[in-house]
Structure 1
Amino acid sequence: MGKIKRVLTIPAALAVLAVMYLVVRIGASAMQGYSWQEMDWQQRGTTSIADFFKASDIGKRDVAKAGKDCVEYYAYKDGLPVKTVCPR
């Protein structure tokens, strides 16, 4: 019985770690405060679950482009723009 218990403990521990990771990523994405429409990072017209998870790695800053006040979304890892939204 002890061997079977050990064999089942490893997958259970891995499952718990996976669930904990997902909870942390969901929390980090939700705490960014982006609307569902803002999270359409590729500007396809729809927001996917992958876009939602990516939100935890994306920041938001005000920029000026062509004399307009715009919002630029950028990757935390390198500061490069992901997308820029300007008023029409």
Structure 2
Amino acid sequence: MLRVLLVIVGVLLAPPAVFFGGVALGVLEHGYGWSEMDWNSDGWTSFGEVMDAADIGKRGAVVCQRICTEYFAYKDGLPVRTDCPPP
């Protein structure tokens, strides 16, 4: 009976685990690290921020004659955040 229960639990939990694992791996292939995914700048990257990063890309941008990093939404190309080095 315990074996049947474990199989049922495993079958129910496998699809969400595969989905979220695939999203996490896809996020890591975007070319930026965990600290860059800290969208609210609170010092740590939450699971929600990692999920948000699945829809955000990274590109170079020039702002006030400085080379910066711009993070943009894939859905419309609008910037989400721009990080520039200190002058």
* Short-chain TM bin: 0.7 to 0.9
Structure number with bigger Rg: 1
Provide the rounded CA distance (Å) in 1 between the counterparts of 2:12 and 2:27. 23
Partner residue, 2:31: 33
Provide the rounded CA distance (Å) in 1 between the counterparts of 2:70 and 2:64. 14
- 1:21-78 alpha-carbon deviations (Å, 9 max, x no partner): 1121111112223122111112233321221222221101111111211110011111
Structure-2-length-normalised TM-score: 0.74
Q: Check the 8 A contact 1:29/1:54 in 2, yes or no.
A: no
RMSD, matched Cα: 2.2
- When residues 46 and 12 of structure 1 are mapped into structure 2, their CA distance, relative to the original with a 3 A threshold, is closer
- Tell me the percent identity: 38
- When residues 59 and 14 of structure 1 are mapped into structure 2, their CA distance, relative to the original with a 3 A threshold, is same
List runs of 5+ in structure 1 lacking aligned partners: none
List runs of 5+ in structure 2 lacking aligned partners: none
Provide the rounded CA distance (Å) in 2 between the counterparts of 1:49 and 1:32. 16
Give the paired residue count: 81
Q: Check the 8 A contact 1:42/1:83 in 2, yes or no.
A: no
Dislocated runs of 4+, deviation >4 Å:
11-14
Structure-1-length-normalised TM-score: 0.73
Provide the rounded CA distance (Å) in 1 between the counterparts of 2:38 and 2:24. 16
Provide the rounded CA distance (Å) in 1 between the counterparts of 2:31 and 2:59. 13
